[in-house]
Amino acid sequence: MRLNDLRASLFGLIAAVALNSMSGSALAGIVAGWDFDPISSSAGATSPYAPAQAASELTIVGLTRGFGVSLSSVNDGWGGNLFNSSDAARAEIDGKFITFSLTPNSTTSLSLSNIDAYNVRRSSSLSATMGQWQYDVGSGYANIGSAINWGSSLATSGNAQPAIDLSGISSLQNIAPSTTVTFRLLVWGGLPPSFGTFYLNDPPTASSDLDFSLQGTLTAVSVPEPSGLLMGALASALVVAARIGKRLRRVLS
């Protein structure tokens, strides 16, 4: 029994060391954030619009207008016009949406905790009224929560939106290295003649340089290179275990 216990303990130690070698440090905080203050109505809002802050471990495709959205600019806001579909399903078909994507590098996993509180601007009573956040990690888009009514304010102060909790969505936790997660915001409800403007907004009272941001955790994942090194180490450990067992048998016999 003592010999078997020794072997079991040794194998357990080998397994623990191997698992520990395949994981690394974690960094939590803002993984991507956009600043709309540089945008002017004369310069327009580029698409894609790159984040002002981004984790170096991520490849990011910035805020991008869908194929059915036209350019429309305001000071300190990013968005567009023609968000005139009747509902979410129609907005998807018509290309009335905004997208952006995050891809962790080959040695990093990504877990997302929330979209920070943000602000939406409607420039007229005929602007888009509704929206739906979605995500896709390679198997099709899924809704995040329910549809949002953007609010009634038409002022530059916009309509404050609460943070969106992502921590309970299993698909957005431990996203594997080199795996792309795409976020999409369907927007609809605009009416003629404006046909529905919509902007992610930097309100005049904003207390932060970042107007739209995501919180998450980036974890380093060690990938054995080459993989044969790990297998060789395990094989060597097993040989040592066998030799120890042989010596113990001689002592106990």
Domain count, the chain: 1
Q: For residues 15-48, b (16+ Cβ closer than 10 Å) or e, as one string?
A: eeeeeeeeeeeeeeeebbbbbbeebeeeeebebe
- Provide the domain limits for residue 166: 27-222
- Alpha-carbon distance of 199 to 208, in angstroms, equals 18
Residue 194 lies in a domain: yes
The token pair that represents 98 in the structure block: 């905004």
pLDDT number for residue 26: 81
CB neighbours of residue 5 within 10 Å? 9
- Alpha-carbon distance of 201 to 36, in angstroms, equals 7
Instruction: Dump pLDDT digits (tens) for 129-186.
Output: 999 999 999 999 999 999 999 999 999 999 999 999 999 999 999 999 999 999 999 9
Residue 237 lies in a domain: no
User: What DSSP character marks residue 117?
Assistant: P
- Alpha-carbon distance of 83 to 130, in angstroms, equals 10
Residue 2 lies in a domain: no
Q: Among residues 113, 101, 46, 71, which one has the least CA distance to residue 197?
A: 71
| CA 129 centroid distance within chain | 25
- Alpha-carbon distance of 204 to 53, in angstroms, equals 20
Residue 101 lies in a domain: yes
- Alpha-carbon distance of 237 to 253, in angstroms, equals 24
| CA 123 centroid distance within chain | 29
Residue 249 lies in a domain: no
Give the least confident one: 94-98, 187-191, 235-239: 235-239
Residue 10 lies in a domain: no
Higher pLDDT, 69 or 233: 69
DSSP letters, 205-224, are T--SS-SEEEEEEEEE----
Higher pLDDT, 135 or 244: 135
Residue 56 lies in a domain: yes
Give the least confident one: 77-81, 89-93, 146-150, 236-240: 236-240
- Alpha-carbon distance of 144 to 184, in angstroms, equals 10
> Whole-model pTM above 0.85?
no
pLDDT number for residue 247: 54
Residue 192 lies in a domain: yes
